[in-house]
Chains A and B, each alone.
Chain A
Amino acid sequence: MAVDHADVDLVRAQGAMTSSDANQRWSESTSTLGDRSEYKKVWNLQSQDPDVASLAVAGHMDEAKLELTAQSFIGTLRETVGLGPNDVVLEIGCGIARVGKPLSKECLHWFGADISGGMLAHAAARLSERPNTTLVELATVGLQEFPRDAFDLVYCTIVFMHLFEWDRYRYVEEAFRVLRPGGRCYFDNFPLDSEHGWKVFTEGARYPVDRRPAHISMASTREELGAYLRKAGFEDVRVRDLPNQLIAATGRKPG
């Protein structure tokens, strides 16, 4: 599998910052940990302009690199859960449509859901020439905007690290509801016990308690991700170690 090791940047332990100005504005747009559950506020603050939004969701602002990491992720999807031209696909937490833009060329219709209307505004600009895409602003945690039994594939990448555990499980449950019988799911995060994961964890631990940013990355364990999918009702559940130091849980809705 083609692996882009720069993907590690996506969890933003040491983001590949290329513009001091954008970095400054990005750091000014961050909220404290007390706001972590207020995902809409936290991510709308970080979507004030395309550069800041790109830094916030991908750790860099380079369009070519966005495309490269997106293609790498599409390769991961293909190898783990499969991807077909007739697939109706939903991405949870699509941000600026980093993945959706290229992925929409390989499926029937791509739906991108995000809690931040600001991020979706940037996504809309990036998707202006992709007619088989739809963006949906989520009112709150969950997928209540979508009907049941609708999608062939639901995935969520580089999002769980920004959510509390309860909210991660909420999205897994909701993915089960909106997938058609036989539909597949994919969720990833960085693992606590990898070298990179431990580095991110200890960096978070060094923050003064009252100054931890709301979007701070928080790891998962293999057991946690596997438990979410099994408890939600998925079958064929597998948790894989990906070469880019992420772990991914995949499963299939019975039927």
Chain B
Amino acid sequence: MNPKPEEPNPRAAALQAELDQVKRREAEFRANMVQEFLDRGERNTYLHTLREERVALIKRGQEASADIEYLVRKLEAEGERRAAVEAQLGGLWDSWSWKLTAPLRIVARLFSRGAAAGAPAGAEVEGAVFTYYLHTSPFRIYHEDAFTLRGWAFPEDGRQVTSVRAVVDARTFVGRHGLEEPEVIARYGAQPANPRPGFEIRFETPPGRHRLSLEAQLEGSEWRWIMRTSIWCEPKGP
């Protein structure tokens, strides 16, 4: 007699199906666990980045504070020097020799009037009212051998700028002018005499304290200063 083919056991089949379900849920749980682990890692990385940025900002703040402290000390020293010079000047003005030579100085001023037009570098020039902006701020402590001043300027009397220069103490550095500044024109309107008011001047910054005068020549003749300031140049670092 042939044995009867084995009947499928419905209970075993049901258990097997249940087991498969459990295995699948367990696998899904593991896949989700990996995903959450990865997400947590990403969050930690982001947190780490934020912490690093915070540390960098604190460091920058501390550096800025140190710069300010240094500048304040310089300012105090300059103030003391100025007070000493003023005291010396006061003494000079009160002296008999200064009072006796006053008429001579008046005559000299009369003769020199008008000499500012086309003044050579280092000669005293007068200021004029300019609308201007400096893209690279000259108000800094200089650490390099040279600095490039970039900006734009036009005189409010509408005259044409025909040249620009920076005078550092007695040295002159001629710059390029007539550079495009479309945003300036868009904001201030057409400047018929100065359609391209941009300029760029590179000047040397040897160590020490200097007088910087940014100057423009108007209509090919007289020079007028746009901005003047004292600058302080540190020796170049190692």
Contacts and interface: CB of A to CB of B under 8 A. Distances in A.
Contacts of A20: none
A147 B33 CA distance: 8
Nearest to A149: B30
Interface in A51-109: 86-88, 108-109
A146 B37 contact: yes
A39 B41 CA distance: 22
A151 B30 contact: yes
A108 B33 contact: no
Contacts of A13: none
A134 interface: yes
B30 A111 contact: no
Interface of B: 20, 23-24, 27-28, 30-31, 33-35, 37-38, 41
A86 B35 CA distance: 16
A16 B119 CA distance: 76
Contact of B38 (A87, A88, A145, A152): A145
Contacts of A146: 34, 37-38
Given A86-B23, A145-B41, A108 B28 contact: yes
Given A109-B34, A134-B38, 20 more contacts: A86-B23, A86-B24, A86-B27, A108-B31, A109-B27, A109-B31, A111-B34, A134-B34, A134-B35, A145-B37, A146-B34, A146-B38, A147-B33, A147-B34, A147-B37, A150-B33, A150-B34, A151-B30, A152-B27, A152-B30
A151 B26 CA distance: 11
A136 B36 CA distance: 13
A16 to B, nearest CB: 36
A180 B34 CA distance: 12
Q: Which 6 A-B pairs have the closest CB atoms?
A: A109-B31, A147-B37, A86-B27, A88-B31, A150-B34, A108-B27
A146 B33 CA distance: 10
Interface in A99-132: 108-109, 111
23 contacts: A86-B20, A86-B23, A86-B27, A87-B27, A88-B27, A88-B30, A88-B31, A88-B34, A108-B24, A109-B27, A109-B34, A111-B34, A134-B38, A145-B37, A145-B38, A145-B41, A147-B33, A147-B34, A150-B30, A150-B34, A151-B30, A151-B34, A152-B30
